[in-house]
Chains A and B, each alone.
Chain A
Amino acid sequence: MKLKGINKNLVLVLLLVVLVAVPFVINKNAAFEGSDGGAETMIQSINPEYKPWIGYLFEPPSGEIETLLFSLQAALGTGVICYYLGYTKGKKKYADH
């Protein structure tokens, strides 16, 4: 890599932060809603008669509960990823000695 001496992953993380922040700057008043909502309205405009023929068995009762479940999903996943990375890092250190 050309980026010797600089932590490449740190640069990538910074790039990621910029990428996520830019939309708020260039598109200040946008609603930032899910694009599947856009697909839903699109379906209604193409075929106004179409009604969903089946609903969800379970829907999170509120936005808070939905956020809870989403955070849980992300937290559990991150936990597993960091477990693996820590485990292999320790193992490697031990093997190198």
Chain B
Amino acid sequence: MKNTDILTIWKSYDQKLNENLLLNRKNAEDITKIKVRSFLTSMRPLKIFAILAGILWVVFVDTLIVLLFPVASPFFLISAGIQVLLTKLSIGVYLYQWVLIELVDIDEPVLTTQERIAHLQASTLWVIRILFLQLPVWTTFYLTQSLIESGGILFYTLQIGFTAGFTLLSIWLYRNISYENRDKKWFKLIFNGIEWNPIRKSMELLDQIKDYSTVRQ
């Protein structure tokens, strides 16, 4: 097969389309009349809501920490402190996504636009990693001095088991949920389902863009 053969086939395809393709002007005209928002712009309110809800939660927990500081158990204070710190990081990721949404311009070069969109999708993984990192604090925030002093062997075994298990699991997930591990079985198991397709696809695209980026303009 020669180059010219491929081009000739494509020319025939072109000719076929010229003869058989019809624009439904009425339906096309309807498009110019409807008020539409782009998919990315439609994501903006969701991100703003997440940021505002996050800020409210942070203010609430921070106030709680300050007000209860003299009387609360150290376990509660440390757990709440870690949780609120991680929430602040999540807000940071949402802010980053918001900036990316503002930067995406559909008439910019394909690789520039696709890289921004793919980063936007893939950064959802950061939020998931941070969410997993919060796991251990949900096993410690309720602990008090009196509960520890009165706890029996069963309490200690379960409490240490849960906290240690959740800590190890959350650190492992935090370190391993990444673009590089997308082909691993456990990764596919967690991110199984049609709703995760955009994230998987965005990772593949980042891979392709990386391949092109070596000689980018």
Chains A and B belong together in one complex: no
